Amino acid sequence: MTVDARILAGLRAAPWGVSGSELARQLGMTRAGVWTHIEELRALGYDIEASPHLGYRLLGAPDLLHADDLSARLGNTRVVGREIHVFQETTSTNDVAARLARGGAAEGAVVFAESQSKGRGRLGRTWISPEGKGLWFTVLLRPNIPPQETTLLTVAAATALSRAVTQQTGLVPEIKWPNDLLIRGRKLAGILTEMRAELDQVQEVLLGIGMNVNLEAGDFPAPLRATTTSLMIEMGQKINRAELAVAILRELDLDYQAVAEGRFERLVEQWEERCTTLGCQVAIRLGDRVIRGRAESLDDDGALLVRGTHGHLERIVGGDVTVEKLVQ
Amino acid sequence: MTVDARILAGLRAAPWGVSGSELARQLGMTRAGVWTHIEELRALGYDIEASPHLGYRLLGAPDLLHADDLSARLGNTRVVGREIHVFQETTSTNDVAARLARGGAAEGAVVFAESQSKGRGRLGRTWISPEGKGLWFTVLLRPNIPPQETTLLTVAAATALSRAVTQQTGLVPEIKWPNDLLIRGRKLAGILTEMRAELDQVQEVLLGIGMNVNLEAGDFPAPLRATTTSLMIEMGQKINRAELAVAILRELDLDYQAVAEGRFERLVEQWEERCTTLGCQVAIRLGDRVIRGRAESLDDDGALLVRGTHGHLERIVGGDVTVEKLVQ
């Protein structure tokens, strides 16, 4: 952890204030050194009170993603978030993470961007990523799994995202298999899973996540307004992005651990509770082909099992799902 | 095609000689311009005779890979080799091809290197790639297939490589599923298939191929000498690398077309004819797990079907195969 991260962690651990000399002792530096860092944090927008009686107190944090602060809030996780990077603007966080991965970035490295100029959804589609209004980020993973099990990670990420949103807002997002979170049928978040792999071994997975946090209806292009939403639109108030980000990383870390240890049953349970796709009559477009049937369950690899019109089960690992109508 | 490639193509089309004025006419340039390019090609080692009666004649080509010359020899293919790059030394041609791919290189682009400092085999193993003695190259493909069908491309590449070797040398390499070519049980060539993919769609495939052409026993590290070979070791004479390279690219182009059009049966037939794995008792290591059984056949995706000791079929998409003993 950097000095800034440790100062913020120290301040957060002492909501009633901590003296400069105590902070200096914790960090092994001089009181003047602490004061310099406090001034820098204030310049970034952190509201830090300094009183002769109470010492330093953190009264408020700015609405920005600050790598040190995210690390300080996150504390120790097993894998996810062990290294955090925040960029003001990128083309796409998946692209940046891919470059970091080639440079040898640690597993669990997370790349956030305040805005993306070329945010991507699945199959090369555009993802709207206006500055400071969402969480646009990518988690770099190096799981020891064959390529066909990567679907599991998308399923795990969807449940983790959904749980974190519930913790922070009380809202319960629905999961649309495999990669979308919806509220009232409107898209709140999406997951773009990209991998590099040999035939039988994944080399790296980029879990790209876009969540519409504080977007207003006007932030979406007109044709998308009827099918998209944000937490702010749903709650009628702004959401603290940094807190939400930390909650998400923590839940992702838990779910990734579950996948790594083969504890998939609990994930599937949670997933099934929140999934709107299961039990529905669906049409799934795979390239030129459309498969119709009833989405029955997930298999062990996270693939969707669809009972076709002739009664046979099809195993679907991806594709565009349209829910056609509810089967009673 | 570049001017050099067109001059070499013109020379090859006229084994008894072509006049400078005729070449100049074909290329739409002056005779002096043609002469300048002929001099450049001579400087590279091309043996080009110029006689007042017969004009220019190509008597010999140097033992080097020259992108223009490879293009000229290859002529029109459907996809493979539409763009050819040759590097004197690279870390690994798969790494270079990955960079070219991100820069928007065309599908079918091929990257050769005279030597690799970090040649890779499967699962991060080292591949010995001494200068000027082998064919170390990568073909960039962008097939419209799901990730699990990528095994097909390895199978197709193995049959294409094997056919090209037979054309050029009369030798009939055996295929060891999924990615090795053997002669008398010793490794002649390997294929490293790497992909970038979303869950249900391959974005790019890098077909990395290493073939031991003119290596001598002393070129291999001592511990590998008993298990490796080269075409020169087998034939007792040097093989023309450029001709072999062109033959391989042409066969790869044919097989890739077959995969793209779903004509997999003919491939499987050829593959089964040359495969030493089928019908054998095998042990396949998948991470920590070892699967034992009889390799029975390939399925539609190129996966190996292995009949386990309890009679059930296992579908294997990769792994380290050891042939344990022949089943009569």
pLDDT tens string A51-96: 988 899 999 988 889 999 999 899 889 999 999 999 999 989 999 9
Confidence of residue A114 (pLDDT cuts 50, 70, 90): very high
Q: What is the pLDDT of residues B72-126, one digit of tens each?
A: 899 889 999 999 999 999 989 999 999 999 888 999 999 999 999 888 887 677 8
Which among B123, B154, B179, B199 is the top mutation candidate for probing chain A, defined by the most A β-carbons within 10 Å of its own β-carbon? B199
B150 to chain A: which residues are within 8 Å by CB?
147, 199
Confidence of residue A328 (pLDDT cuts 50, 70, 90): very low
| Interchain CB contact of A178 with B (< 8 Å) | yes
Of B144, B147, B192, the CB nearest to A147: B147
User: What pLDDT sits at residue A266?
Assistant: 81
User: Any idea of the CA torsion for B71, B73, B78, B84, to the nearest 10 degrees?
Assistant: -20
Q: What is the pLDDT of residues A230-269, one digit of tens each?
A: 999 999 999 999 999 999 999 999 999 998 888 888 888 8
ipTM, 2 decimals? 0.75
Nearest CA in chain B to A193: B198
User: Where is average pLDDT lowest: A216-230, B92-106, B132-146, B282-296?
Assistant: B282-296
CA distance B199 to chain A (A): 6
Residue B257 has pLDDT above 60, yes or no: yes
B146 to chain A: which residues are within 8 Å by CB?
286, 317-318
Q: Which of A123, A136, A142 is nearest to A91 (CA)?
A: A136
Size of interface A-B (CB pairs under 8 A): 75
Max CA distance (Å), chain B: 78
**Residues A177, A322: contact at Cβ < 8 Å?**
no
In percent, the amount of chain B with pLDDT more than 90 equals 55
The amino acid present at A302, given as its one-letter code, is: G
A154 to chain B: which residues are within 8 Å by CB?
199
What is the CB-side half-sphere exposure of residue A38 using CA atoms within 13 A? 24
Residue A286 has pLDDT above 60, yes or no: yes
Of B122, B144, B317, the CB nearest to A287: B144
Q: What is the pLDDT of residues B54-70, one digit of tens each?
A: 899 999 988 889 999 99
Beta pairing partners, A101? none
Q: Tell me, letter by letter, the H, E, C secondary structure of chain B.
A: CCHHHHHHHHHHHCCCCECHHHHHHHHCCCHHHHHHHHHHHHHCCCEEEEECCCEEEEEECCCCCCHHHHHHHHCCCCCCCCEEEEEEEECCHHHHHHHHHHCCCCCCEEEEEEEECCCECHHHCECCCCCCCEEEEEEEECCCCCHHHHHHHHHHHHHHHHHHHHHHHCCCCEEECCCEEEECCEEEEEEEEEEEECCCCEEEEEEEEEEECCCCHHHCCHHHCCCECCHHHHHCCCCCHHHHHHHHHHHHHHHHHHHHCCCCHHHHHHHHHHECCCCEEEEEEECCEEEEEEEEEECCCCCEEEEECCCCEEEECCCEEEEEEECC
Give the whole-angstrom CA distance, residue B123 versus residue A54: 58
User: Any idea of the CA torsion for B145, B151, B154, B155, to the nearest 10 degrees?
Assistant: -110
CA distances from B289 to A297, B210, B284, B285, B315 (A): 28, 28, 8, 6, 14
Q: What is the mean pLDDT of chain B?
A: 89
CA distance B193 to chain A (A): 6
- DSSP character string of A20-43: HHHHHHHHTS-HHHHHHHHHHHHH
Confidence of residue B251 (pLDDT cuts 50, 70, 90): very high
CA distance A88 to chain B (A): 23
Q: What is the pLDDT of residues B159-179, one digit of tens each?
A: 999 999 999 999 999 998 878
Pairwise CB contact (< 8 Å): A192 & B200: no
Give the whole-angstrom CA distance, residue B255 versus residue B264: 9
**Residues A222, B218: contact at Cβ < 8 Å?**
no
Residue B326 has pLDDT above 70, yes or no: no
Q: Which of B97, B104, B91 is nearest to B139 (CA)?
A: B97
- Dig out the tokens for A245 from the structure: 């980000």
User: What pLDDT sits at residue A325?
Assistant: 53
Residue B190 has pLDDT above 70, yes or no: yes
pLDDT mean over A28-57? 92
Residue B328 has pLDDT above 60, yes or no: no
B154 to chain A: which residues are within 8 Å by CB?
199
A319 to chain B: which residues are within 8 Å by CB?
200
Q: What is the pLDDT of residues B203-246, one digit of tens each?
A: 999 999 999 999 999 999 998 899 999 999 999 999 999 999 99
Residue B327 has pLDDT above 60, yes or no: no
CA distance B44 to chain A (A): 36
Q: What is the pLDDT of residues B311-324, one digit of tens each?
A: 888 888 777 777 77
Q: Which positions 21-60 of A are in contact with B (Cβ < 8 Å)?
A: none
- Dig out the tokens for B294 from the structure: 């009889």
Give the whole-angstrom CA distance, residue B162 versus residue B174: 7
Name residues whose C-beta falls within 8 Å of residue B160's C-beta, 6 or more positions apart in sequence.
Answer: B248, B251, B252, B254, B255
| Interchain CB contact of B196 with A (< 8 Å) | yes
CA distances from A294 to A186, A316, A323, B95 (A): 21, 12, 9, 43
- Dig out the tokens for A74 from the structure: 């996150």
Report the predicted TM-score, pTM, of the whole model to 2 decimal places: 0.82
| Interchain CB contact of B203 with A (< 8 Å) | yes
